[in-house]
Structure 1
Amino acid sequence: MPNTARRLVRLPGLALRGARVGVVVLGHAAALAGAALLARLRGSPGGVALRDGGRWVRLLTALGPSYIKIGQLLSTRRDLLPDAVTGPLSTLTDAARPPRAWRVRRAVRRAYRDREWPFAGFGWEPVACGSIATVHRATTLDGRDVAVKVRRPGIARVMRQDFALTSAAMALAARLPALRRMPFALMHQQVGGAILRQLDFTAEAESLARLRANLAAFGNVHVPEPLPGLCTPEIVVMEYVDGLTRFEPGDLDAATRRAVVRAVLAAIYEMLFVDGVVHCDLHPGNLYFDRDAGLVVLDAGFVIRLPDAVRRSFSDFFINMAMGDGWMCAQIVVDSAAHVADDCDLEGFRSGLRELVAESSGALSGEFDLARFAGRLFDLQRRFGLFPAPEFAFPLLSLLVVEGMVRGFDAEVDFQAEAVPVLRRRNTPRIPGSTAER
């Protein structure tokens, strides 16, 4: 467990949190079983209860922020889950219950207790409310309109307890005979640790500035400017962007929808293949339209900096997949593997991946299923004893979230072809301040 997680986790509190999670899960499981039984008695399929999105929202909300994050990501997968599930789950992006006003007021006052109060006006009623933070509109002393993102009081302790609980669950899973080959500890350290780092608002302010600089040449993508002098470890202050609408097809015409899809993909590919700075949480609560149908990215809490070796390997894998070169894709995975089992069947893996790439190469978004591709890739690795660097999960997560939204805008866009122009620059160092054509 990272030192930041270990520091605030105490055994009595952890036991109480574990008991609460267990009670909530068992209670909802019992209710779900009862609903399924009742459905069967009425002659309806028992699986109807599983497609009750409202029930899942209540469960995830009761479990808390770590689990709400899972629901937010699942809400984007309208291609994999029925609307009855994804519709209610989408409310998790910005409809969390706000903390008590006095707690927020106390948290903000404490954050600035050692400096001059920087605001001429502060709206204590939040304009948005997420699982980790609330967002407030304020005015600085020099008259600038800003958004103030405030970390929820007490949220750090709860999320670190959840990290410890899932770590223990992973350790138990690793003892099962069928799962002993899986590097659960390393995977949890990387992925779970990345989620936990969303508590670090100093890092989020830095990520906002980095994304803003990296995407500056994209005239149709805007990242709000952070105000570093006003930010603290619990608070991010950034420019306020007015007139935003949710990232949904709505009444946009076909040409605008196609342009939006290509703008999103171009920005994502720039992050993945050139910058190595990956936004893993571009769900509709973090991505909006401005008045000109330009894209606005409002949040940078779940942003990961890929090691350069991982960025290059993932880029090389993607371009060879687009070219239909399954053998080279397999070799890239083999060369970048974090763990190779003693009984690894390299030839079996190469053969299976060549077949998978041949099936997927050049498919349109309506035909190419990234979730299915990733699932089959991971299954090949598991079956043949070859495990990639855990950091590979982050670019895949980013693409999976975006894929779920893109399908609603333009089912005909070619994911792989849109990536090729960016991939050609994958090994070209970025010139600081460059605004070269992209």
Structure 2
Amino acid sequence: MADNENGIGSQVRRYARVGRSMGGLAAKLAGERYLGVKIDRDDHARELRAALGGLKGPLMKVAQILSTIPEALPKEYAQELAQLQADAPSMGPAFVKRRMVSELGPGWRKKFGEFEREAASAASLGQVHRATDLDGTRLACKLQYPDMRSAVEADLRQLKLIFSIYRRYDRSIDTSNIHAEIGDRLREELDYRLEAKHMALYRMMLADEPHVHVPEIYPALSTDRLLTMGWLDGKRLLTFRGEPIEVRNELAVNMFRAWYVPFYGYGVIHGDPHLGNYTVRDDRTINLLDYGCIRTFQPKFVKGVIDLYRAIRDDNRDLAVHAYESWGFEGLNDEVIETLNLWAAFVYAPLLEDRPRKIQEFGDEGVYGREVAERVHRELKERGGVTPPREFVFMDRAAIGLGGVFLHLKSEINWYRMFHELIEGFDADAMAERQKAAFAEAGVPLP
């Protein structure tokens, strides 16, 4: 296979390279645990970031994901991993030529009007090139880096080592489901044909949302490892932080609907609210750019989200337990339920008040939810721990990631009314039928 994509040799080389980076860090932890040699968590976290920072590929992607899941890592590690940059150095012209010949054949260049050999942007799993079709339409061509399938499998093994490092410190969160969920989503991100289908699905789900734009796919110029779509102009969202409150509020509303119209209408969430995955047009509408990390939920899970909101609103313990169990939490006792409700009360707080307000009106404004997450984490540790269900991982990540965006914008909107507009008349059976029809039309398999 081209680029030795799944070769055992590639996996062994990747594993050895990452292993060298991680081995010394693990040894330090073993020394602390078994020999009583104390280490500084902050220094150790910085060393971990330095070890991962030189790696292109999925382990960097994993680190970015973990930094946005409050229960996955302690704050010292999350803060360091959050600094890993998605804009890794791009692969050069030789790689581009090999990849394009491999995907579209020796005559690939004749299929484009223009094609820029230098990447417009580079991330952890691939890079994007500007191009035009033969009619002059502007395109974005996403090329996957070589050996990514091998890298994913090697790095997922090393992710277990990262989690074991954490577990030496803290057993309050069982990370097994987090690892499994991240693994499945990473493998899906390598399938560009699936991403193209997800994009088609989003074009349908957001067809009535004029303030959110989804790129058009060009199937004749796309393969398993090449994804060609229409180019969408826009500016980074954080450039709008200094704009008047009316502008920032408008952007927040558009972002809210871009993520939650698909969730409450079809049970689909964009699981990667990374700042590089959306841009803002001059008319303040949103471009949603990347569809590699998409999570689908059964209607009963979505109903559980609404049930828990009502349980927190009405102080209904039995309904809260029902919601947690519908998500897959097991072995809940009164103390664990009380602790989980602390987190739920924080997440749902903006939805409980029928007034314009900031997404977070108290606490540390550096990281959305960090103070509450730390308290919940501490109490779970005292009460025996919990295993987060797989479905919960990216749902929680999306909520925290978007909360961080709203925090940056300092937007003040009526979250209550936007939420109630989406859930009004919710019916799980109707969602199931709507979900089935949309997925069939887009060619996406229902999980």
Partner of 1:228: 219
* Deviation per residue, 1:251-295 (Å, 9 max, x gap): 321111011112211222223222222111121111111121211
Between the aligned partners of 1:115 and 1:416, the Cα distance in structure 2 is: 55
Cα distance in 1 between the residues matched to 2:97 and 2:105: 12
Q: Taking structure 2 as the reference length, what is the TM-score of the superposition? A: 0.75
CA offsets 1:65-118 (integer angstroms, 9 cap, x no match):
2232245457879xx989xx689927x23x211112111211111101298752
Tell me what 2:121 maps to.
Answer: 128
What is the letter of the counterpart of residue 131 of structure 1?
S
Indicate whether 1:68 and 2:60 are aligned. Answer: yes
| Paired residues of 1:128 and 1:136 also in contact (CA < 8 A) | yes
Partner residue in 1 for 2:21: 24
Shift of 1:304: 1.7
Asked whether 1:365 is paired with 2:359, we answer yes
User: Does structure 2 retain, via aligned residues, the 8 Å contact 1:287–1:295?
Assistant: yes
Q: What amino acid sits opposite 2:189 in the alignment?
A: Q
Secondary structure of the 2:409 match is coil
- For residues 25 and 370 of structure 2, the distance between their equivalents in structure 1, rounded to whole angstroms, comes to 28
SS at match of 1:161: helix
Q: Tell me the number of residue pairs that the alignment of Structure 1 and Structure 2 aligns.
A: 398
Distance 1:104 1:413 in 2: 45
Query: Shift in Å at residue 386 of structure 1?
Result: 5.9
CA deviation string 1:127-167 (max 9, x = no partner): 11111111111121233221111111222221221123335
1:144-202: CA deviations, max 9, x gaps?
221111111222221221123335776x7899898599471x44222221122111101
Q: Secondary structure, in 3 states, of the residue corresponding to 2:275?
A: coil
Q: Secondary structure at the match of 2:113?
A: strand
Query: 2:308 matched to 1:317?
Result: yes
CA distance in 1, matches of 2:337, 2:304: 16
Q: Note the alpha carbon deviations across 1:324-375, whole angstroms, 9 max, x for none.
A: 544412221124426x3xxx45334444445665677535522375455566
Shift of residue 409, structure 1, vs aligned partner? 0.8
State the partner residue of 2:282.
Answer: 291
SS of the counterpart of 1:162? Answer: helix
Shift of 1:380: 7.0
Cα distance 1:139–1:304, how it changes in 2: closer, same or farther (>3 A)?
A: same
Alignment of 1:24-43 (within 5 A): 24-25=21-22
Counterparts in 2 of 1:118 and 1:173: CA distance versus 1, 3 Å: same
Alignment TM-score, normalising by the size of structure 1: 0.76
Change (3 A) 1:122 1:200: same
> Counterpart of 2:333?
346
What amino acid maps onto 2:139 in structure 1? V
Measured in 1, the distance between the counterparts of 2:166 and 2:63 equals: 25
Aligned-partner Cα distance in 2 for 1:63–1:118: 33
Q: Which amino acid aligns with 2:389?
A: A
1:188 is aligned to 179
250-259 or 311-320: bigger deviation? 311-320
Q: Give the secondary-structure state (helix, strand or coil) at the position aligned to 1:264.
A: helix
Work out which of the residue numbers 88, 105, 110 in structure 1 matches 2:102: 110
Query: Aligned equivalents of 2:162 and 2:81: distance in 1?
Result: 30
CA distance in 2, matches of 1:227, 1:108: 15
Determine helix, strand or coil for the equivalent of 2:391.
Answer: helix
The alpha-carbon distance between structure 1 residues 286 and 352, as it changes in their structure 2 partners (threshold 3 A), is closer
User: CA offset at residue 235 of structure 1?
Assistant: 0.8
Compare 408-417 and 251-260 and name the one that shifted more: 408-417
Q: Which amino acid is 1:423 matched to?
A: I
The equivalent of 1:424 in structure 2 is 424
In structure 2, the CA distance between the partners of 1:262 and 1:96, relative to structure 1 (3 Å rule), is: same
Letter in 2 for 1:205: A
Percentage identity across aligned positions? 22
**Is 2:95 aligned against 1:98?**
no
SS in structure 2 at match of 1:329: helix
Structure 2 equivalent of residue 41 of structure 1: none
Give the structure 1 partner of residue 399 of structure 2: 399
> Partner of 2:354 in structure 1?
none
Q: What letter matches 1:247 in structure 2? A: L
The one of 192, 203, 209 equivalent to 2:200 is 209
Asked whether the 8 Å contact 2:241–2:248 carries over to 1, the reply is: no
CA distance in 1, matches of 2:292, 2:347: 32
Distance in 1 (alpha carbons) for counterparts of 2:25 and 2:389: 35
Gaps of 5+ in 2: 29-39, 351-357, 363-367, 439-447
